[in-house]
Chain A
Amino acid sequence: GAGVSQSPSNKVTEKGKDVELRCDPISGHTALYWYRQRLGQGLEFLIYFQGNSAPDKSGLPSDRFSAERTGESVSTLTIQRTQQEDSAVYLCASSLQGVTGGGNQPQHFGDGTRLSIL
């Protein structure tokens, strides 16, 4: 498809386990973003990639959260030793340009991964 693809769409896991969420951005989009949407709350910015580097990691809530991007395409968000407060929908977005191109490029969002920690 032509849109941003995220997998899995749903993930249920036990507290303390590690989880890995995947994002396939739109082909050719150099900028990639991860957001978190907790139930009843707005979206929180987590991390931004420009190419393979992450100029802005300011939103990662703790050192249990990490993300990487390889080949200027796929990105993975990893949460170690999950806690119940990590339960949320994790959204990935991509755009043609990020920091180098200004903030006026719209971001295209995937459908998200719904993460539930038991």
Chain B
Amino acid sequence: AQSVTQLDSHVSVSEGTPVLLRCNYSSSYSPSLFWYVQHPNKGLQLLLKYTSAATLVKGINGFEAEFKKSETSFHLTKPSAHMSDAAEYFCVVSAGGTSYGKLTFGQGTILTVHP
């Protein structure tokens, strides 16, 4: 079984300040982890993925995430928020075993960026 918990349903930051979106996961197998972003009325776009290589993963638009097995966390960060980052972000786990390819999504975190 696998599950994902996004610890904040809403995060609000000022433009130019750091962003932290928190995610904890549980998985019976070695997981692959992803962050997706969804802008209003748009489909999901892949930001970055972790697949058991480097624990610090760099993605598009300046985002990065660190896989910490001991904490079962995969938090998403960005040093400086931009107005265009305002969107909903989903932490996603894809486990091995018979669940290969089946994604389990977190509930989402809505990021608001203030000028």
On A, residues with C-beta under 8 Å from B are 4, 31, 33, 35, 41-43, 45, 48, 50, 56, 91, 93, 95, 97-99, 101-112
On B, residues with C-beta under 8 Å from A are 31-32, 34, 36, 41-46, 49, 51-52, 90, 94-96, 98-108
A-B contact count (CB 8 A): 70
Partner of A106, one of B31, B46, B99, B100: B46
Q: Which A residues touch B45, using CB under 8 A? A: 109
Closest to A4 in B: B43
In the complex, the answer to whether A43 meets B90 with C-beta atoms within 8 Å is yes
A45 to B104, CA, bound (A): 7
Q: Return B44 CB to nearest CB of chain A, in Å.
A: 4
Partner of A45, one of B52, B95, B102: B102
Q: Which A residues touch B98, using CB under 8 A? A: 99
Closest to A56 in B: B102
A107 to B90, CA, bound (A): 13
A48 to B104, CA, bound (A): 13
